[in-house]
Amino acid sequence: MIDYKSAGLTEEDLKNMYKWMDLGRKVDERLWLLNRAGKIPFVVSGQGQEATQIGMAYAMKEGDISSPYYRDLAFVTYMGITPLDTMLSAFGKRDDINSGGKQMPSHFSHREKGILSQSSPVATQIPHSVGAALALKMDKKQNIATATVGEGSSNQGDFHEGLNFAGVHDLPFICVIINNKYAISVPDSLQYAAENLSDRALGYGMHGEHVDGNDPIAVYKAMKEARERALNGEGATLIEAVTSRMTPHSSDDDDKYRTQEERDSLKEGDCNLKFKAYLLENNIIDEQWLSELEQENKDIINKATKTAEEAPYPSTEEAYAYVYEEGVQDND
């Protein structure tokens, strides 16, 4: 971990960051249990990426706009999508804030919190977020727009088009590549030839930053400085946070393209365990504090799970809501 004081953080900040990392992980783990019990159909996980997600979120301010991707559970939890919201979406219930039970799980959105709705095709959120950054600049708002993608998405056309536009127009935009080294089953060695994906920033005329994605302090510092540059009129930033994906690509993936030895090594680099050990070693937290947090998060998740499981599904009539504009007649 880098020196937290150099990033302008306090011990209370570090404790708060770990709280959100732990809550995101625990919600994620509950989703897997529900899936394996046959209660929800699908899970796509962010385990191993919580340090990057909370480091990012902690540097953002009210009024900022975000375009997360499907692994950003801890990020969106911090930004205001509650564990109950997540469970309602996973169960496909009527009160799901993302879509009323229609959207794929982990396709996050929250209008009031500035979280843009996303589509399943990867990297499509980048042009959306760049457009939001353009609007913020035109309206002279002191805010930024962000987008997160996996390293696989950095090879899509939308990635290039969005970042090129952001660079040309000096937009208040930050793109974070969460490089977990696998695009589904394709390892990074078969995805790109560059040493660092952040080096691509040079071609877009923007600042590039390569950080340890398992260090929430380092990610926070990079994000904070990128935000300051954007608001000072210095344009966009491309951040590459290198981390690991601790689970299969999704609940429908057997993960056989990785050896057991490789899967075991991921647990040793678990960002949550590393950050917890750092806080304990520096006497910022103790075992009693951890025990209380464990119970607090367990209560939150148990309540959210029970409420969502008992909540009503959308009716047949509601399935057609928000598909067509109200009052529009056909031409027949």
Q: Which residues pair with 242 in a beta bridge?
A: 179, 212
111 is catalytic: no
Strands 145-150 and 207-212: unpaired
Give the burial string for 31-42 (b: 16+ CB within 10 Å, else e). Answer: beebbeeeebee
Q: Which one of the listed residues 245, 258, 263, 322 is annotated catalytic? A: 245
**Residue for token digits 């995101």?**
24
Q: What are phi and psi of 38, to 5 degrees?
A: 80, 15
CA geometry: angle at 244 spanning 70 and 208, to 5°?
80
Residue whose C-alpha is closest to residue 87's, from 20, 28, 45: 28
263 is catalytic: no
Q: Which one of the listed residues 257, 258, 278, 322 is annotated catalytic? A: 257
Sign of CA dihedral 303, 306, 309, 314: negative
**Counting every residue, how long is the chain?**
332
Q: Which residues pair with 150 in a beta bridge?
A: 178
CA–CA gap between residue 53 and residue 272 (Å, rounded):
12
CA–CA gap between residue 332 and residue 320 (Å, rounded):
20
Which parts of 169-326 fold into alpha helices (H)?
201-204, 216-231, 260-268, 271-281, 287-310
How far is C-alpha 212 from the geometric centre of its chain's CA atoms?
16
Q: Strand, helix or coil at 242?
A: strand
CA–CA gap between residue 163 and residue 176 (Å, rounded):
11
110 is catalytic: no
Q: Which one of the listed residues 128, 249, 258, 278 is annotated catalytic? A: 249
Active site residues: 245, 249, 257
